[in-house]
Amino acid sequence: MAVKGKRQPHVLAVPFPAQGHVRPLMKLCRRIASRGIKVTFVNTEHIHAKVVAAMSEEDKRQNPIQLISIPDGLPPDDDRSPGFELMESVIRTMPGNLRNLIEKINGRSSDEKITCVIADITIGWILDVTQKLGAESVVFQSAAAAGMAMVLQIPKLIRAGNLDMNGSVKKNELINLSDNIPSWRKNELPWSFPGDLKTQSMVFETFMAGGKTAHRAKWLLCNTFYELEPPACNLIPNFLPVGPLLSTNNSKSSAIGGSFWLEDTTCFSWLDKQQIGSVIYVSFGSIAVFSQDQLNELALALEISSRPFLWVVRSNLANGSIVKFPNGFLERVAKRGKIVEWAPQEEVLAHSSIACFISHCGWNSTMEGLTMGVPFLCWPYFSDQFHNQSYICDMWKIGLRLNPDENGLRSRLEISTKIEMLLSDYSIKTNAVKLKEMALESVSGSESSSQNFETFIYHLKN
């Protein structure tokens, strides 16, 4: 209950318009709303339409947060793929659109006034605008604490000559923030866009601005838990790790929403028919794309492995071309393979038939896999995914790397060999189970993430 005389808390949440950013922030917001706090969630119009279209009727009925939208400034027919145009347009239009939105909401009644804005760190600079309208600033990181620590250290790294003003590593050496945090290689930084310096510079600039704002924010929230990356958490002031953010954190419903595609729930009846710990789950998140040659190698590796597999093949997985499978592949694997366009991933990973996860190591996928105790085969595509791979393979020891050959391809032999190595490695499985227990403990009772969440809720209400 709010203290008498205090304004009713009203949280406005603003994600970056991409799947891996919208979904975890929405999970957090649903938890906040389940504690009786009003939450308004602002997507761009394009993303809002996708999210609403992919929500089940049950989800729409149970959704405790208000979903609204603002324009992203791009023409309706733009493909809005992550990159320069989208970022440039968001930077140009979002401050004005948000200011207008908040003024409109605040003008309705004093009970409605926005008291707190939670913004994704990649657009953290918008908090400079919203703070002037009387709302407290909170930054949200949908990736690792290590990435957030890195962003906060940018000015220091520039002064030390490690980074240039485009965010490129100057001396071609590793960047190391602290012992027990894996080092970052050139082109594997959170803002890295190898071969596209124009986009990288802009992303770097927005991270830098977000980092500056984050230093002034009341809290920095993150989808991680303290015990998972203590050295990184210790580097961040006012830090509240509240992860793992799970659909089951929400008291009322297991449905979470925030998906951009319709989830194919036929996965479950198929998984129910498979043996415990037998299925290879293959998914590369929402952005990664592959050449047709690479897709052929992966398909043939899954065929060679002779194990059941569930493979998420998005319609845009073949980089703009229609996905083609090797001749006769679908017929040959029909009895033990299932291919879907989009899966209910968190629930799939929690299913007892899953044996391992071939993953691009996006942070959400990483958190979901480790929370379910599933070992990884790592296939990073860009940005922080390489650093997450280092965490998985070198620090937590819950997975193996899939290494590219001299042509940059992961061969069918590499993939099928590593599947067998992973599934026969007892210590990796044991580590994965231990990490699962740690993750679940952190969000239960009075443990770290649970406590941090309570601290935040108390602060919002008082």
> Please, is 128 exposed, middle or buried when counting C-beta atoms within 10 Å of its C-beta (0-12, 13-18, 19+)?
middle
Judged by DSSP in three states, 163 sits in strand
* Candidate residues 74, 116, 287, 300; the one interacting with ligand UDP per rule CB under 6 A: 287
247 binds ligand UDP (CB under 6 A): no
> Should residue 345 be labelled a site residue for ligand UDP when binding is judged by CB under 6 A?
yes
Nearer to ligand UDP, 86 or 157 (CB): 86
Sheet holding 337-340, edge to edge: 337-340, 309-312, 279-283, 354-359, 376-378, 399-401
Cβ proximity to ligand UDP, 89 vs 283, nearer residue: 283
Q: Using the rule CB under 6 A, which residue among 15, 210, 285, 380 binds ligand UDP?
A: 285
Could you tell me which of 211, 196, 54, 51 has the C-alpha nearest to residue 120? 211
243 binds ligand UDP (CB under 6 A): no
What tokens were used for 54?
């992919």
By CB under 6 A, the count of residues binding ligand UDP is 18
User: According to CB under 6 A, which one of 23, 46, 401, 436 is a site residue for ligand UDP?
Assistant: 23
Q: Is 20 in the site for ligand UDP (CB under 6 A)?
A: yes
Residue type, 168: S
Binding residues for ligand UDP restricted to 145-204, rule: CB under 6 A: none
Residue 329 · residue 302 · CB < 8 Å: no
- Cα 56 to chain centroid, rounded: 21
C-alpha count within 13 angstroms, C-beta hemisphere, residue 54: 23
Closest to ligand UDP by CB, 285 or 337: 285
Q: Which is nearer to ligand UDP, 135 or 392 (CB)?
A: 392
- Residue closer to ligand UDP by CB (options 225, 342) is 342
Site mask, ligand UDP, residues 357-396, x = CB under 6 A? -----xxxx--x----------------------------
Distances, alpha carbon 382 to alpha carbons 189, 290, 406, in Å: 9, 12, 18
Choosing from 312, 339, 419, 423, the residue that interacts with ligand UDP (CB under 6 A) is: 312
Q: Tokens 């590793």 appear where?
A: 174
Give whichever of 213 and 365 is closer to ligand UDP, judged by the CB atom: 365
From the CB of 60, what's the least distance to ligand UDP, in Å? 18
- Kindly tell me which residue out of 40, 89, 259, 274 binds ligand UDP, with binding defined by CB under 6 A: 259
Binding window for ligand UDP (CB under 6 A); candidates: 86-94, 273-281, 284-292, 416-424: 284-292
Cα separations (Å) of 127 from 48, 92, 124, 268?
21, 15, 6, 41
d(CA 168, CA 186): 7
Contacting positions for ligand UDP (CB under 6 A): 19-20, 23, 259, 283, 285-287, 312, 342-343, 345-346, 362-365, 368
